[in-house]
Structure 1
Amino acid sequence: MSTSSTSVKGLRVIRRPGITLDHLHQSKEWADLEVHLGSKVYQIHRNIVCTAIPYFKTMMSTNLIETQSNVITINYPHIDCDAFEWLLNWSYSISQQISLSNAKSLLVASDYFQVNSVFQFCCDYLDGVIAVDNVLDIKQWIGTFNVGNLRDKVNKFIAQNFNSIVLTPSFVNQTLEQVTEIITDNNLNVSNEIDVFEAIIRWTKYKHTERNLCTPKLLIHLRWCQLSYDQIINQISKHEIVTSNEDCRQIIIDVLSCLTFESSYNQHSSTWKQPRCQLIKSDTESTDLIVACLASPSTFELSFLDHSTNTFISWLKVNQPLIRENHKAAILGSSLLLIARDCISLNLINGRVYPCPKELRIFDWPDLASGNDCVYVSGGLNGKPSDIVYKISRFDDESFDIIQLPRLKNSRAGHRLIMCDNSLYVIGGRDESNILDSVERFDSEQNKWQIVTPMVTARSAHGVAVHGDRIFVAGGYDGSSFLTDVEEYNPKLDKWIPMTPLIVKGKIVSLIAHQEKLFTFIRSPAKLVQIYDFISKTWSVTEADSLTDDSLIAVTQIPSNFCQKTDEK
């Protein structure tokens, strides 16, 4: 290396060529620390590696024997020599690359040597390359490390792409414990629980001889209540892997007993009846559909609105009669609650009907509101208007968790219940002698109802909806005639503002806020749907040809993924 010089403004500047850290690392010149890892010995520079790698800084700052001898032996068997050399090169400011081939070993090494920045680089890299063919490997690599949001993202990706991932070679090479963890995820994105059964069979067949005894340990985690009897009897119970295993056959017997007889108990019953959350909602942005409930003398059916043709398309038919009166509808878990003078719970996945809690069957025409993973039920008639409010959470189709909230300040029937900005409101209705304009809001912190500003117009049997952070009421009955009045409530200002009135008056079935519009459905004439456009601030009237005056009993909103597989219902 020769000395160079330059002239700057009459001065002579002399430079000696610098020695790079890379040169020091390769030449071992002035190395003063020896590291033994496996069969290899590394000559390194204490000042450099102690600056970059906290493990060595800690060790060299103590009175350990290594400090005196300048020799460190690493006995941790999971440290890969290539990964250690990667860290050394990085310490000497040599550019390094992270790839799928070294990410696992780098995670282990950077965690052991406490190099948090490299550990985070690995996590960020893996976060960006998650794919169907590698996600199970990544899940295994991150193990029990503290990887922040990466583990949640990996688990979410597996749940969302379950049907594709079970077809990869990595899936059939998972252990029993790993497969169990995957199929017990409540968020599996499966259109039908039979997909989970088929994944179990595929895993078992890969090494049938040694895995046959594992099959029943996986079958107990199926959500059997989400399967039809036809699927259980004709697809699962007759499968050769099930018929050849006595424990599998016994599970089928227990399942059928549990699903047929409500009193039958099994230690796995609560799991069998628990729905998959992905059958309820999707992590991708989904559109709620406007769904009408139509009743005939012996059946009722659900139909969803096709906006392009203003026609309700039949989706799910149920062989059970309902009274032809306005029902209140709300989603609870995977079920639709329908309440008027009769009260049922319809499982939207398997199409089965279950009775509602007995506490709700004593009231005629209460109102419902969905919110915070539960349903609120209030008021109604039990000889006279009621002031009772229930909060209902679901455990499974046959059992509910019911909490009674503090009583309303006013007993009410024909009122409306709505959630807005995590607050529960009770609006209008009638008591024993008057139509009400009063509004109550539940204060969850003080656990009591508060009176807020009343509506401009007293009304009962009206429609109510939430759009953004505002509440809208439309129509209703004032004691002598049906109304066209529409109002908007601003909770922050505690103020009601009159809006453009409805075009057609009638008995309101429901008011729905959907895609920057308000949809008003009336019972007669039922074919007419009034639509309010928030941009033009005007109402229009259109016909829904499939509706008839005496058939429409309820309209609500249901996540669109419930309606994706109509033929399977």
Structure 2
Amino acid sequence: MSAPCWSCSLVGDEQTALYRAPPLGLQPLARAMVEGVADSGWHATLTRGLHEAWQSRLYTDLAIKTQDQVFHAHKIILAAASPYFRAMLSVGLVEGQTQTLILEDVSGDVLNTVLTFVYTGRASLTEHNVQEVLTLADYFQIHSLKKLCCYHLKTHLVSRTCLCVYEVAALHRCNDLAAEALALAASQCSEVIVQPDFLSLQPETLVTLLKQPYLSVTTEEMLFEGVINWASKDPDERQKWLPVLIENIDLEFLKSNRNKWLAVLEEKQLLENLKDIIDPAGLECDGVEEECDHQSLHKMPRHNTLEEVLLVMGGESNGRLLRNTECFAVGYSSWRCSIPEPAREPKPKYDRLQVLPPMQHARAYCAVATQQNMVYVLGGQTIKTFLASCECYNVLSNSWHHLSDLPEAMHGSGAAFLDGSLYLAGGKSLERYHSGLWVYNEYQDIWSGRGSMGVGRAHFGLVALHGSLYAVGGVGWARGESQVLDACEKYDPGADVWVPIASLGQVRAYLGVAVIHDHLYAIGGYNGVHWLNCVERYDPLRDQWTSVSPMISARSSFGVTVSHGRIYCLGGFSGESNLNSVEKYNPRTNMWHSVQSMQLRRYGLVAATVNVPGTVRCSNWVFVWSDSNGKASPVRQTQEDT
């Protein structure tokens, strides 16, 4: 237990000390002199000078005409900030030769906001201009401003506008924002469909909403009514979309009040397009005939509740590598090797469980990332070797399946989802610490390379925040030896580059990193001498780390995840023994609390939070997930159950 990971003391055929003391005497000073010095305030000085030159029109060489204003700017500044301007001004186009650019469809106020950001890095965003600014930032390929607009829209998401935000985000390929907006619409669907903005949505947006397996409405009739109201807003243009929309709604409720809705549809002059779908003969089916059963089976099960559960996977326990998974959910009295299955009651009953299957490979120090109902486990190590294998757990089917192997067998990598794509960074193979970044293409099942980090590192934290990836701490190879790092980097996917950010307050590896409330937390770990319980919080808008309350217990090589607005730290190694204890952090109170311990003591594990469907609503059918094959099986309810 003297070293958290057996392999980090191996580099090629040479065994080196994992955490060697720093050189003494004048060597550190000499190295610092060779590397040079930097003025951390120079960026602000330069930005201020450029802004003043822009405001005073000093040396400006480009005039930009909008609907109502004319702006004077510097070509070199615009080219440096925007690939759009760089291409336009460098290939001999008219704008570059005449020193004039005409933007007839852009308002002066919006362009002023964009140019102010180019020269200062600041933008005045409001609910009235943010969508126009986002459009222009996407057009000019100013990715930093685009991310800032997405952040502003995300922090102001409400049920009244969430689907409008979804449309804007989807149009501009802001996939993370689009996913959050759609998730909010699903969780507050009963409120969303009665908002005035609902009547102005694009038909494709409604189709996407109705295809969601989880919508927080009590009956399908509410969805039907919302669609009819939407179509009535512009019946001549929208009634052609009605068949597609209604096909995604279960019409079983029409058995009891069909005449009412037939009258409504006829009054609104919408009945003609729906006659084939709400055929009275089809609604007379009593559920006994084979044909009727076959039709019902094709209805998608609709859930109106979701339950967040915690999962821990893999790791090592008392010299034994683990494949099994443990689960904890609200209502559990302890951690279990089973997960709740969808139930028909308004509140889930936890005696209805399904056994969690083990991973295909036992592994420790693997990377983990979660999206929707999927948990991805990548690479890792066994007792004697490294792994390139990857696998994915599907909550709905309660099964694991294999993904394409990593480019190289390695452990201690970091993984995160950014803008809908799965990224993997860093890690250690037998030969070296990796600085590479790879992105997974789920359609082709392949990994593709992206821009490398500034330093190779393993056993670090990798998270996504505000449209960027953040690599925090870890172990790396520097100055001829393996060292624990305090260095942090940020990846800009638009430019495909990593840039340094403020360093941690102290070096740490085997740490936990989590994002909550738009802040990044670096938790615990190992500094080469001591196991840590201290915690630092990073503010990306100020590029600053500050200390917050420490954990109750020092630990490294633990799992970390976020659930219900709390950060959970699970298991790990304390410097003396393996742990099964669990702590959670409340960022609002800045306090840590002990919660139910896991069944097994394990370190080198990974943790994830997933949503398990609660109540299944599909008219008078209830779908339960089979333990044997994970497929939905319909069970007829009685009228009293319904």
TM-score, structure 1 normalization: 0.52
Match of 1:394 among 442, 449, 459: 442
- Residues 204 and 329 (structure 1), Cα distance of their counterparts in 2 relative to 1, 3 Å cut: farther
Q: Is 2:586 the partner of 1:547?
A: no
Cα gap change, 1:323/1:164 in structure 2, threshold over 3 Å: closer, same or farther? same
Q: Does 1:338 align with 2:377?
A: yes
- Asked if 2 retains the 8 angstrom alpha-carbon contact of 1:294 and 1:302, the reply is no
2:582–2:594 Cα contact (<8 Å) kept: yes
Deviation per residue, 1:207-246 (Å, 9 max, x gap):
99xxxxxxxxxxxxxxxxxxxxxxxxxxxxxx9669x9xx
Q: Does 2:581 align with 1:528?
A: yes
* Deviation of 1:385 (Å): 0.9
- Distance verdict in 2 for CA 1:534–1:331, change over 3 Å: closer
Find the residue that maps to 1:408 and give its secondary structure. coil
Q: Please give the alpha-carbon distance, in whole angstroms, between the structure 2 residues aligned to 1:152 and 1:472.
A: 47
Residue 453 (structure 2) aligned to one of 387, 408, 411 = 408
Deviations 1:141-192 (A, max 9, x none): 6787456xx9999988975x547569786999999x9899x9xxxxxxxxxx
Query: In the alignment, what sits opposite 1:323?
Result: 362
Does the Cα contact within 8 Å between 1:415 and 1:430 map onto a contact in 2? yes
Determine which structure has greater relative contact order: mean sequence separation of CA pairs < 8 Å that are 6+ residues apart, divided by chain length: 2
In structure 2, C-alpha distance between the alignment counterparts of 1:390 and 1:178, rounded to whole Å: 48
**Residue 535 of structure 2 is aligned to residue 486 of structure 1:** yes
Q: CA deviation at 1:312?
A: 4.3
Counterpart position of 2:310 = 290
Q: Secondary structure at the match of 1:330?
A: strand
State whether residues 326 and 335 of structure 2, in contact with CA within 8 Å, keep that contact through their aligned partners in structure 1: no
After superposition, what is the alpha-carbon deviation per residue over 1:22-47, rounded to whole angstroms, capped at 9, x for unaligned? xxxxxxxxxxxxxxxxxxxxxxxxxx
Offset of residue 478 of structure 1? 1.4
Percentage of identical aligned residues: 14
Q: 1:345 to 1:516 in 2, by over 3 A?
A: closer
1:356 aligns with 403
Residue 550 of structure 1 and its aligned partner are, at CA, apart by 4.0
Contact preservation (8 Å) 2:559, 2:604: no
- Give the 3 Å change call, closer, same or farther, for CA 381–167 of structure 1 in structure 2: farther
Residues 293 and 552 in structure 1, CA contact (< 8 A), matched pair in contact too? no
Question: Is the CA contact (8 Å cut-off) linking 1:473 and 1:486 kept in structure 2?
Answer: yes
Give the direction of change, closer, same or farther, for the CA distance of 1:207–1:561 in structure 2 (3 Å limit): closer
Matches of 1:434 and 1:122, distance apart in 2 = 55
CA distance in 1, matches of 2:243, 2:519: 37
Once residues 301 and 394 of structure 1 are traced to their aligned partners in structure 2, the CA distance between those partners, rounded to angstroms, is 24
Corresponding residue of 1:423: 468
2:613 aligned counterpart, secondary structure = helix
Structure 1 regions of 5+ residues with no counterpart? Answer: 1-119, 183-198, 209-238, 245-271
Q: Partner of 1:503: helix, strand, or coil?
A: coil
CA–CA separation in structure 2 for the residues paired with 1:443 and 1:555:
26
Q: CA deviation at 1:554?
A: 2.1
Structure 2 counterpart of 1:330, one-letter code: A
Q: Is the 8 A contact 1:294 1:300 kept in 2?
A: yes
Q: Structure 2 vs 1, CA of residues 430 and 445 (structure 1 numbering), >3 Å: closer, same or farther? A: same
Q: Call closer, same or farther: CA 1:490–1:427 in 2, change over 3 Å.
A: same
Q: 1:320 to 1:511 in 2, by over 3 A?
A: closer
CA distance in 2, matches of 1:121, 1:499: 42
Distance in 2 (CA, whole Å) between partners of 1:294 and 1:358 is 18
Instruction: Summarize the alignment of residues 13-412 of structure 1 with structure 2, pairs less than 5 Å apart.
Output: 131=222, 145-146=236-237, 159=248, 162=250, 164=252, 286=306, 288-293=308-313, 300-306=324-330, 309=333, 311-312=335-336, 314-315=338-339, 316-318=355-357, 320-332=359-371, 334-339=373-378, 340=380, 341=387, 342-360=389-407, 362-383=409-430, 384-395=432-443, 399-400=444-445, 402-412=447-457
* 1:434 CA displacement: 1.3
The offset of 1:402, in angstroms, is: 4.1
Tell me the alpha carbon deviations over residues 443-471 of structure 1, each in whole angstroms, 9 at most, x when there is no partner: 23332111011111111110011111110
Mapped partners of 1:452, 1:290: distance in 2: 31
* Residues in 2 aligned to 1:357 and 1:165: alpha-carbon distance in whole angstroms: 45
Aligned to 2:496: 447
Q: Distance in 1 between matches of 2:415 and 2:615?
A: 22
Query: Greater CA deviation, 473-482 or 447-456?
Result: 473-482
Change (3 A) 1:551 1:322: farther
For residue 325 of structure 1, report the CA deviation from its aligned partner: 1.7
Asked if the contact 2:369–2:608 (Cα under 8 Å) also holds between the matched residues in 1, the reply is yes
Instruction: Describe the superposition over 1:456-513 as per-residue Cα deviations: whole angstroms up to 9, x where unpaired.
Output: 1111110011111110011112123321121000001100001222221223322223
CA contact (8 A) 1:306 1:313 kept: no
CA distance in 1, matches of 2:420, 2:583: 30
TM-score by length of 2: 0.46
Q: Which of residues 519, 522, 528 is equivalent to 2:568? A: 519
Name 2:108's counterpart in structure 1. none
1:403-433: per-residue Cα shift (whole Å, max 9, x none)?
4221111111111110112221111111122
Q: Name the residue aligned to 2:610.
A: 558
Match of 1:475 in 2: 524
Query: 1:367 deviation in Å?
Result: 1.2
SS of residue matched to 1:131: helix
Report the counterpart of residue 537 of structure 1 in structure 2.
590
The 2-side partners of 1:154 and 1:205 are apart by 16
Report the secondary structure of 1:385's partner residue.
coil
Distance apart, 1:382 and its partner CA: 2.4
Q: Which residue of the partner structure matches residue 110 of structure 1?
A: none
> For residue 534 of structure 2, what is the amino acid of its counterpart?
D
Output the amino acid matched with 1:446: A
Alpha-carbon spacing, 1:445–1:554, altered in 2? closer, same or farther (3 Å)? closer
- For residues 371 and 550 of structure 2, what CA distance do their matches in structure 1 show? 32
SS of the residue corresponding to residue 483 of structure 2 reads coil
> Structure 2 CA distance, aligned partners of 1:460 and 1:121?
48
Residues 417 and 123 of structure 1, relative CA distance in 2, 3 Å threshold: closer
Deviation of 1:333 after TM superposition, in Å, equals 5.6
Offset of residue 542 of structure 1: 3.4
- Measured in 2, the distance between the counterparts of 1:510 and 1:151 equals 51
Length, aligned pairs only: 358
| CA distance in structure 2 between the aligned counterparts of 1:158 and 1:205, rounded to whole angstroms | 14
Q: Secondary structure at the match of 1:359?
A: coil
1:300 aligned partner, one-letter code: N
Runs of 4 or more off by more than 4 Å in structure 1?
120-124, 132-147, 150-159, 163-175, 177-180, 202-208, 239-242, 284-287, 294-299, 562-568
Shift of 1:567: 5.0
Q: CA deviation at 1:387?
A: 1.2
* In 1: Cα distance, 2:375 partner to 2:275 partner: 32
**Could you tell me which amino acid in structure 1 is paired with residue 464 of structure 2?**
M
Write the letter of the residue equivalent to 2:429: N
**Deviations 1:48-98 (Å, cap 9, x if unpaired)?**
xxxxxxxxxxxxxxxxxxxxxxxxxxxxxxxxxxxxxxxxxxxxxxxxxxx
CA distance in 2, matches of 1:477, 1:451: 22
**Corresponding residue to 1:503 among 552, 572, 578:** 552
How far 1:136 sits from its partner (Å)? 7.1
Could you tell me whether the CA contact under 8 Å between 2:407 and 2:447 is conserved in 1?
Answer: no
Partners of 2:392 and 2:518 lie apart in 1 by 29
Contact 1:379 1:411 in 2 (8 A): yes
- Higher Cα Rg, which structure: 1
Q: CA RMSD in A?
A: 4.9
